[in-house]
């Protein structure tokens, strides 16, 4: 096993030959295209998240890597070998199933030992003990799965896959069945275990917070294609599409048009107000654009306060709703052109709170502005139900 590289620290001596690569992979079910021309590179030792809403093709992608589905076209390469067409039981890949799929007639220890025994490894007992210790289930070794809690079953499923030290470990929404508190605990636990064993994890989830908490790299999928791949910070700060901007956290997307440029900055007109955006964060540099800014990047000021250098100001906002949520206050502001924007202000005590009906100016740094192509749907990726928490 080579060094465990993280996305933030690209080691030059990294062994690229053990990467997982998907090349132009397409999967069709009849006339329905689940995955279209997907290209992906997961580096060895990386915690990689495939993030997307249900039905976006992420689980199909995972099942193709596991060998449970065959791609209609394209190559899947693990450690230099094309595994498309190789049967699941001959792939160096193990899966943690969404339903855990623990064998109900076997004990916890027998479940964990299953993979080693099928490969004819005789001295599996010590390794099973070690693995049960890693997931803190030593005392449950001789129980049946049905006697364990959901969180414990989840850890058994993880141990049963991990013990085989696969080249790639696949996790299919492994935390989906757990309640919120347990899910947060298991996220930390999973990340700890991944760091400890140094294996490549490919984690499929629809929970953007889960993906951001754990993953080194996230690929955001929508309708069978990858919208954007990058580190959590990169995706959050520099979304490439409106879908990514809305699916990861919240974004205010305001219609504007590019009027020119000023050195490293693009100048955009929003309903008669001139604002600036860094060229490096502009995905579109001419014509109609979506001007994006995250709600927590915006500060509210009274209508009369003067703006500092390098700060964009949108005037004429009226506070239409205030919700106090402890660490922050969330405002809804109605703009002169009718759009409602949201702003999160930290409750640090340094700033005064505005009451509904107050007139305010919205201020944010030019460097916090991103520009997206206006051809896209501004509501793509907006979660209509409260399912993302």
Count of residues engaged in binding another protein, rule: CB under 8 A? 24
30 makes contact with another protein (CB under 8 A): no
Shortest Cβ 68–another protein spacing (Å): 6
Per CB under 8 A, which region of 85-93, 217-225, 249-257, 327-335 contacts another protein? 85-93
118 makes contact with another protein (CB under 8 A): yes
Shortest Cβ 176–another protein spacing (Å): 14
Per CB under 8 A, which region of 112-120, 134-142, 297-305, 373-381 contacts another protein? 112-120
250 makes contact with another protein (CB under 8 A): no
105 makes contact with another protein (CB under 8 A): yes
Question: Between 62 and 212, whose beta carbon lies closer to another protein?
Answer: 62
Candidate list 47, 114, 201, 236; residue touching another protein; CB under 8 A: 114
Per CB under 8 A, which region of 93-101, 222-230, 337-345, 362-370 contacts another protein? 93-101
Candidate list 77, 101, 182, 322; residue touching another protein; CB under 8 A: 101
Site string for another protein, 160-189 (x = CB under 8 A): xx--x-------------------------
Candidate list 29, 75, 119, 260; residue touching another protein; CB under 8 A: 119
**Rounded distance between C-alpha atoms, residue 208 and residue 272, angstroms:** 35
Shortest Cβ 117–another protein spacing (Å): 9
87 makes contact with another protein (CB under 8 A): yes
* CB 371 within 8 Å of CB 190: no
68 makes contact with another protein (CB under 8 A): yes
Candidate list 44, 60, 94, 187; residue touching another protein; CB under 8 A: 94
Question: Between 49 and 161, whose beta carbon lies closer to another protein?
Answer: 161
Instruction: List residues near another protein by CB under 8 A.
Output: 66-68, 87-90, 93-95, 97, 99, 101-105, 114-115, 118-119, 160-161, 164
């Amino acid at each position: 096993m080579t060094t465990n590289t993280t996305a933030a620290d690209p080691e030059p001596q990294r062994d690229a030959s053990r990467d997982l690569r998907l090349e132009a992979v397409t999967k069709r079910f009849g006339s329905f295209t689940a995955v279209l021309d997907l290209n992906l590179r997961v580096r060895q030792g990386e915690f990689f998240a495939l993030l997307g809403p249900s039905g976006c093709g992420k689980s199909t992608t995972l099942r193709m890597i596991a060998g449970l589905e065959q791609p209609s076209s394209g190559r899947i390469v693990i450690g230099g070998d094309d595994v498309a067409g190789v049967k699941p039981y001959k792939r160096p890949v193990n899966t943690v199933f969404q339903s855990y799929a623990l064998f109900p007639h076997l004990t916890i220890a027998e479940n964990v030992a299953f993979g080693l025994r099928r490969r004819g490894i005789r001295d599996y007992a010590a390794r099973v003990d070690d693995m049960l210790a890693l997931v803190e289930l030593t005392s449950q070794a001789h129980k049946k799965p049905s006697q364990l809690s959901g969180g414990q079953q989840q850890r058994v499923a993880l141990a049963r896959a991990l013990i085989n030290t696969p080249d790639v470990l696949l996790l299919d929404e492994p935390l989906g069945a757990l309640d919120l508190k347990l899910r947060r605990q298991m996220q930390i636990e999973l990340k700890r275990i991944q760091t400890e064993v140094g294996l490549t994890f490919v984690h499929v989830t629809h929970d953007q917070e889960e993906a951001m908490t754990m993953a080194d790299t996230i690929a955001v999928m929508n309708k069978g294609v990858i919208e954007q791949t990058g580190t959590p910070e990169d995706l959050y700060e520099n979304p490439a599409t409106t879908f990514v901007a809305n699916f990861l956290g919240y974004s205010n997307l305001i219609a504007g048009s590019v009027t020119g440029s000023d050195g490293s900055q693009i100048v955009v007109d929003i309903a008669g107000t001139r604002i600036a955006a860094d060229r490096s964060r502009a995905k579109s540099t001419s014509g109609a654009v979506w001007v994006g800014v995250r709600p927590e990047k915006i500060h509210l000021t009274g209508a009369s306060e003067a703006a500092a250098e390098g700060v964009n100001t949108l005037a004429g906002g009226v506070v239409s709703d205030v919700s106090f949520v402890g660490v922050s206050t969330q405002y809804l502001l109605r703009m002169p052109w009718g759009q409602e924007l949201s702003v999160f202000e930290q409750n640090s005590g340094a700033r005064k709170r505005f009451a509904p009906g107050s007139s305010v100016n919205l201020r944010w740094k030019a460097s916090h502005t991103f520009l997206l192509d206006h051809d896209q749907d501004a509501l793509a990726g907006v979660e209509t139900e409260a399912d993302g928490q």
